[in-house]
Amino acid sequence: MRLQKKIIINKNLNELNSLRIAVKSRYFIECKSDKDLDLAFNFIKQNKLKFLF
């Protein structure tokens, strides 16, 4: 599967943080393989994005 189909824009992250703080990420990518991680990192570099694992 291509990475473009796995990118979620403006994902609500309140269910993913322990304090349930209402926060959204500009882009959200869930990597399930090494290939996904490589594609995600290339996307991040090409778009000069800040990222957090």
Question: Whole-model pTM?
Answer: 0.69
- Spans of all domains in the chain: 3-46
| The one-letter amino acid at 36 | D
Confidence band for 44, pLDDT divided at 50, 70 and 90: very high
Q: What pLDDT digit, counting tens, does each position of 6-42 carry? A: 889 999 999 988 888 889 999 998 888 899 889 999 9
CA dihedral 2, 8, 34, 38 (to 10 degrees): 80
Query: Is the model's pLDDT at 3 over the cut of 80?
Result: no
Residue of 6, 7, 25 lying closest to 16 (CA atoms): 25
At 49 the pLDDT is 92
